[in-house]
Each structure stands twice: as structure tokens, then as C-alpha cells.
Amino acid sequence: MKPTLAILGGTGKEGKGLAYRWAQAGYTVYIGSRKAEKAQNAAADVRARLGDENAPVHGLLNPQAAERAEIVVITVPFSAHRPTLDAVRDAVQGKIVVDVTVPLVPPKVTKAQMPPAGSAAQEAQEILGPDVAVVDAFQNISHELLWDGGEIDCDVLITGKGKKNRQIVIQLVQDAGLRAWDAGPIENSAVIEGLTSVLIYLNKTYGSTHAGIRITGLGELGHRAIG
């Protein structure tokens, strides 16, 4: 049985791209938003993209989506990070929270600017408390590539609380059609989140939107779980 997923802030481009890929892989997905109508419209967009009006993609308010899901994914802008986590703190106790948030501070998004906690993931862990396992993932992936549904020439680095939890998220990444790597404890998330500003800079400098990262020298090990 696949775990049920909630994507909070799932009405944005990144959230809808992940919802599309996971629904395509057979997951039940709850798209969360501060506004129910906005969440329902996003869910309808994903079902239309799938070509299946009966696909298990549903729109709810953030707390309701978090309550129903076994794994909760945060895809909000950094300005909404703390308010979103505060609103669902009770609903996510005992669960894995996958944090996709990057601490970008407009207008200087090509400059890495980390929060006092060290990273968005570490901030989330502080807010949610020790009974929640925060795992960082998907910071370095173009939302356009997720929504297009094709093969993505980019790896995903996974950091966070506990190897077992990171392995669960690695499976989610693989089911979304990408290669994933266990990149260690939550303290390493600062490096991965900071890379996003580097990739934005590269995109702007070289006229692209699809810059990503690849891990070399390890063959195809990223396609399997590490014991």
C-alpha cells in the first residue's frame, strides 16, 4: 500500500508538478491551500493533466490535508513557511514532513541567504518538534520539468532526520521518476538549499530554466535503496 500524501502549498507550480507525478504513480494526493476553492481548482488541473477525472487527487484546506495524509509535503514560498507550519503543527505529529521550501529572499534570489536555524528544513524541525521527522528534497528541480512529465536529467539529494525516513522519501522521489541520493543528516540541508540560488544564477546567466545537478562516480546506486 502506498502512503497517502498531502502537498501543502500544492496550488503552486512545484506542488502541482509533484501531485501530477505521484498521482500518475498511484498515490492518493491531497492538495492543500489556505483557500479551499484554490485547492480544489488545482486538484482539477492535475486530474485534467492525467486525463482522469476520477483520479485520487483532492483539494482541501492545509490543516485538513495534513490531517488525512500519512506523509506531508511543504511546497510554499519561504515567506509562508513558518505560518504554514504553525497552522498544521498538531496535524503532522508522528509523521514525515518533506520540506521542499528554499529560503529565497526576493529580489536577491541568486544569492544564498540562509535563515538563523541554518536552513528551511532545520527551521521546520524546530517549529514542529522532535516527534516529526523533517526531510529535505526536491529543492533543485525545475517545476516545468515536473509538470511536463518527461524524463528529468537531474538528481535529487535527500537530507533529514533519520536514515529510515530518508529512505522512505527516496522511494517517493523514485516514484516521481527521478534518481535520488541519501545526502545525510538535516544539517546538510543548508548546502542543498543554498544550491538553488546557484542554479537560478546559472539559469539567468546562460539563458536557461532547467539547470540541475548530477552526482557522478557512483554508477546507478541512486536507483536503489541503501541498507
pLDDT tens for each residue of the chain, 227 residues long: 899 999 999 998 889 999 999 999 999 999 999 999 999 999 999 999 999 999 999 999 999 999 999 999 999 999 999 999 999 999 999 999 999 999 999 999 999 999 999 999 999 999 999 999 999 999 988 877 888 877 888 899 999 999 999 999 999 999 999 999 999 999 999 999 999 999 999 999 999 888 999 999 887 665 554 44
Number of compact structural domains in the chain: 1
How far does Cα 107 stand from its chain's mean position?
22
Question: In which domain, by residue range, is 187 found?
Answer: 5-223
Under a CB-based contact definition with an 8 Å cutoff, are residues 97 and 124 in contact?
yes
pTM equals 0.94
* d(C-alpha 132, C-alpha 124), whole Å: 9
Taking the CA of residue 72 as centre, how many other CA atoms within 13 Å lie in the half-sphere pointing to its CB?
Answer: 31
CATH number of the structural domain spanning residue 41: 3.40.50.720
Give the Cα-Cα-Cα angle 106, 184, 81 (nearest 5 degrees): 30
